[in-house]
Amino acid sequence: MADEQVTETENRTENARQEDQPKATNETETTSAEKTPAEPATQKDHDGSATSNDESSNSQSEDAHEATVQESVRKPVVPSPAALAKTPAKHPVTPPTVTYSQEDMKSAESFGRVDDNGTVYVKDGQDEREVGQFPGASKEEALSLYAKRYLDLKAKFDLFAARLTSSTIKPHEIDESLKTLNEENTNPEVVGDLAALRTQFAQLQQAAESKKQELTAARKAALEKAIEERTTIVEKAEKLAASLNDNTNWRSTADKFNSLFNQWQEHQRNSVRIDKPTADALWKRFSSARAAFNQQRRKWAQARDAAREQTKIAKEAIIKEANDLKDSTDWANTSHAFNALMDRWKEAGRIGRREDDELWARFREAADTFFNARQADREHTNTAEKENLAKKEELLKKAEALLPVVDEQAAKQARQALATIQDEWDQIGYVPREDIHRIESGLDAVDKAIKNVEDAAWKKSDPEADARVSSFETQLKAQLEDLEKKIAGEDDPDKKARLEAEKATKEQWLNAIR
């Protein structure tokens, strides 16, 4: 804002000065009543701005124009009275648009005088020198013109002093302005206190030097801060690269490197420009850290792929052994053998999730074939477990009758009733192996249904609860589809009846959670 005010004031001063500039005259220019004041002959004149590039361009054009004027009026020829009577005035003196106080004008005019020939002189200490001529004009007009020029020049000094307080001024602008003002202050064709003008210019030089030192220090501090900030980014990248090991989370670390790279680019765009040698050295360190990470990640990926291939080979061998054992009727020894295969499966490790699931399904199919056959054999002798199963199925029916639970009060009553059922359940004992999951899952489903209502009572909205219900519903649907397939392929009436009973139970659960 200060810069805009300075520039605007300087423009007004320059315009006023140009309007005060009298036009060159020649021998043919006259007036019918009186003489038109001729352009005062000046030794030199500098119409430049001390601050603006646009004003400097305008100044060069004006200097060229005034140089032409100076050549024509360097040694003016006073026209004869007859010549003055021939033509009317063409270039009257334009009234200035910017005026100074009478006090300032009188103070400046006190340092000059005009002789009878229109020659203007200025006092410079103990000396006096000619600054120009203004023939045909009154002494007051001539003296006023050169006093205004003095005040114009002083105003430029004041404007430059104001600019030095701005935070946006550049060192080269300071140098250019000082150069221009120095030229204008060297034997200026003005009337005023030249000693005060020289003193002010000396003060401006000192202030300008201090401002340049301040700007240099600020630039140095900003540069040091920028280097420190970018060095911090580099050190973080190097620390990441140095921390790589077998336990590294490569995806997370890659995200961290990408984040640091984005920080680098953002800093490069928004901070001060760092010198090229320093910037190149920092980039070399940062790039080396990224390259080290990429190299280590490639090695890890290669090792992982090799390990997965070995794991796949090991699991294929385990599946082959399981298929060889699945039709055995040596229940005890084969059970131990399957347990050993399971241990080897766990020790083999994991490969890709999809391939792992496919291999596991093949292994599980062989194991289920054996264990289902063993369980079928046990069904003929394990009457106690069947009796326990019947008791638990009756208890399960009582538990399922507690559903659906619609509010908190009903949930409390259902919880009390379910606690009694669970106590009886725990006292009954084991059930046949193939029914353990079904019967236990049934009771768990009732417990979960009651708990859902209890949870909803103290927490009105729980997205995780909805997700759990949806997951359980999906599981029930999958189990029902599996039971339908088993029922369709089962020829044994007893097994088929049990499967249909299990299907009916799960359908009740599904209706309950809906």
pLDDT at 152 over 90: yes
Q: How far is CA 56 from CA 153, 154, 420, 474, in A?
A: 15, 18, 100, 81
Task: Give a yes or no: residue 226 inside a domain.
Answer: no
What is residue 53's predicted lDDT score, i.e. its pLDDT? Answer: 40
Task: Give a yes or no: residue 63 inside a domain.
Answer: no
466 and 452 share a domain? no
Total domains, the chain:
4
Q: What is the pLDDT of residues 381-420, one digit of tens each?
A: 577 888 888 999 999 899 888 888 888 888 888 888 989 9
Distance CA 295, CA 313 (A): 28
Average pLDDT, the chain: 77
Task: Quote the DSSP letter at residue 246.
Answer: T
Provide the β-strand partners of residue 128: 123
pLDDT at 65 over 60: no
What is residue 465's predicted lDDT score, i.e. its pLDDT? Answer: 55
**Domain limit, last residue, from 308, 330, 351:** 351
Q: What is the pLDDT of residues 345-361, one digit of tens each?
A: 888 888 878 888 888 99
Task: Give a yes or no: residue 374 inside a domain.
Answer: no
Percent of the chain with pLDDT over 90: 19
Mind giving me the DSSP string for 113-142? EE-TTSEEEEEETTEEEEEEE-TTS-HHHH
Residues 435-445, mean pLDDT to the nearest whole number: 90
332 and 293 share a domain? yes
- For residues 450 and 91, the model is more confident at 450
215 and 107 share a domain? yes
Per the CB < 8 A criterion, the answer to whether 428 and 445 are in contact is: no
Distance CA 347, CA 56 (A): 84
Per the CB < 8 A criterion, the answer to whether 148 and 59 are in contact is: no
Of 151, 113, 172, 146, the C-alpha closest to 39 is 146
Task: Give a yes or no: residue 21 inside a domain.
Answer: no
172 and 122 share a domain? yes
Task: Give a yes or no: residue 394 inside a domain.
Answer: yes
Residues 6+ apart with CB under 8 A from 122: 111, 112, 128, 129, 131, 146, 190, 191, 192, 194
What is residue 176's predicted lDDT score, i.e. its pLDDT? Answer: 92
Per the CB < 8 A criterion, the answer to whether 36 and 91 are in contact is: yes
Measure the CA angle with vertex 27, ends 21 and 33; round to 5°: 80
Beta strands in 24-156 (DSSP E): 112-114, 119-124, 127-133
Report the greatest alpha carbon distance in the chain: 153
Amino acid at 339: N
Task: Give a yes or no: residue 36 inside a domain.
Answer: no
pLDDT at 259 over 90: yes
Per the CB < 8 A criterion, the answer to whether 132 and 40 are in contact is: yes
Per the CB < 8 A criterion, the answer to whether 163 and 3 are in contact is: yes
Per the CB < 8 A criterion, the answer to whether 450 and 402 are in contact is: yes
Q: What is the CA radius of gyration of the chain?
A: 51
Amino acid at 428: I
196 and 264 share a domain? no
318 and 402 share a domain? no
First to last CA, the chain: 70
275 and 347 share a domain? yes
412 and 345 share a domain? no
446 and 393 share a domain? yes
pLDDT at 116 over 70: yes
210 and 302 share a domain? no
Q: What is the pLDDT of residues 320-341, one digit of tens each?
A: 888 998 888 888 898 999 899 8
Predicted TM-score (pTM) of the model is 0.40
Task: Give a yes or no: residue 3 inside a domain.
Answer: no
187 and 112 share a domain? yes
Which tokens is 87 given?
């033509």
pLDDT at 191 over 70: yes
Distance CA 289, CA 266 (A): 19
Of 113, 108, 177, the C-alpha closest to 140 is 113
Which tokens is 163 given?
């600019």
Residues 6+ apart with CB under 8 A from 395: 421, 424, 425, 428, 443
Measure the CA angle with vertex 441, ends 440 and 446; round to 5°: 100
408 and 344 share a domain? no
Per the CB < 8 A criterion, the answer to whether 164 and 208 are in contact is: yes
Per the CB < 8 A criterion, the answer to whether 242 and 288 are in contact is: no
Distance CA 1, CA 155 (A): 18
H or E element at residue 15: helix 2-20
Distance CA 307, CA 246 (A): 13
What is residue 459's predicted lDDT score, i.e. its pLDDT? Answer: 67
236-240, 355-359, 491-495 — most confident range: 236-240
Residues 138-157, mean pLDDT to the nearest whole number: 90
Burial of residue 254 (CB within 10 Å: 0-12, 13-18, 19+) is middle
**Domain limit, last residue, from 351, 374, 407:** 351
In which region does residue 275 sit, left (phi positive, over 0), alpha (psi from -120 to 50) or beta (all else)?
beta
Task: Give a yes or no: residue 29 inside a domain.
Answer: no
Q: What is the pLDDT of residues 123-147, one digit of tens each?
A: 988 889 998 888 778 888 888 889 8
Residues 6+ apart with CB under 8 A from 19: 94, 95, 96, 97
Residues 6+ apart with CB under 8 A from 489: none
- For residues 156 and 62, the model is more confident at 156
Distance CA 28, CA 488 (A): 128
pLDDT band at 41 (very low <50, low <70, confident <90, very high): very low
pLDDT at 40 over 70: no
Beta strands in 349-505 (DSSP E): none
Our separate counts of H helices and E strands in the chain read 16, 3
Percent of the chain with pLDDT over 70: 77
Per the CB < 8 A criterion, the answer to whether 98 and 146 are in contact is: no
Enclosing domain of residue 279: 244-351
* Three-class DSSP category at 148: helix
Least confident stretch, 60-69, 126-135, 147-156, 495-504: 60-69
What is residue 153's predicted lDDT score, i.e. its pLDDT? Answer: 92
Distance CA 331, CA 377 (A): 10
Amino acid at 284: K
**Domain limit, last residue, from 292, 326, 351:** 351
